[in-house]
Amino acid sequence: MPEDEEKNSDRLSLSEALLAPLNSIFEAQVHASRAFLNFLLQMGFRHIYTADDEKYLAANPTPENEAILAKIQEEKNGKERMKGLNERLQALSIPEVLTTAQQQEQERIKKELRDLKIKYGALHQQPIDYIDAYGQEHTIYIPNLSLLPIKPLGIQQANFKYELRVMNSVKTDEPQIRTSQGTNPKRPWFLLDPKKIEGEFAPQQKENSTDKTIKIDVTVGAMDTPYGLHKLISTLTGIAEDSPKTNTKP
């Protein structure tokens, strides 16, 4: 590389100097958001295995992988059972008047469907057993999301303090606003012809120091819960299932 090009390679335009730390903040916020979403999905929802996951588990037969495959098959059987029960429940809803046997079957199907949804549904739920004032045992199912302390972290404030030593100031290309044929008809967004400022970060104020520095002051704190997530948690909390305790484990 020629000496002049190597010397100018460290130069930054003022726009680049301003955008570089801003871009870093945006990237950090994206990573924080992804980590927060990953936390929600792991703690609140069951893992969904893809077809590729099943192929990998089948191609690598270990006791752990075989146990996972058995669990996947159990969930598939449970969901097929739910599908059949839903079809039967819809068939029972067609007649306007049900016999006593049909009403009993309908209640049995609803109860089995509820248990299957708790066991194989998308949400992780916690069963809590308790005895009411009349001595009856009950079980309440509470979604994990309504029990977790959920507050996303984000960057509330960022202050950038640095000095840019101006090395060059050049005039930008003149805007072509003439209307003669062959010229660019697009008008510029600016009114006055700006100049492009180039420079480099000033070194620290220390003797014999040539380090380029940038001072960053970032404040990280709890952000407001996203409205969609707040609405979901409120809804889940409001529909927490409360039912008489049975011997069927969720």
Residue 250: per-residue pLDDT: 44
Residue 185: per-residue pLDDT: 56
Residue 73: per-residue pLDDT: 93
Give residues with Cβ within 8 angstroms of 33, minimum separation 6: 152, 154
Please compute Rg for the chain using Cα positions. 32
Tokens, residue 42:
């792991």
Residue 206: per-residue pLDDT: 63
For residue 171, give Cα distances in angstroms to 14, 35, 53, 174, 183: 14, 44, 58, 8, 20
Residue 129: per-residue pLDDT: 86
Residue 240: per-residue pLDDT: 62
Residue 78: per-residue pLDDT: 92
Tokens, residue 60:
């690598």
Low-confidence ranges of the chain (pLDDT < 50): 1, 5-6, 175-179, 248-250
For every residue of the chain, DSSP letters joined together read: --HHHHHHTT-EEHHHHHHHHHHHHHHHHHHHHHHHHHHHHHHHB-----HHHHHHHHHS--HHHHHHHHHHHHHHHHHHHHHHHHHHHHHHTSSSS--HHHHHHHHHHHHHHHHHHHHHSSB-EEEEEEE-TTS-EEEEEEEGGGTS----EEEEEEEEE--EEEEEEEEPPPP----STTS--PPPS-SS--EEEEEEEPBPSSTT---B--EEEEEEEEPPPPHHHHHHHHHHHHT-EEEE--S---
How buried is residue 241: exposed, middle or buried, by Cβ count under 10 Å (0-12/13-18/19+)?
A: middle
pLDDT per position as a tens digit, 187-233: 666 666 667 777 777 766 565 665 555 666 667 677 787 788 788 77
Residue 155: per-residue pLDDT: 80
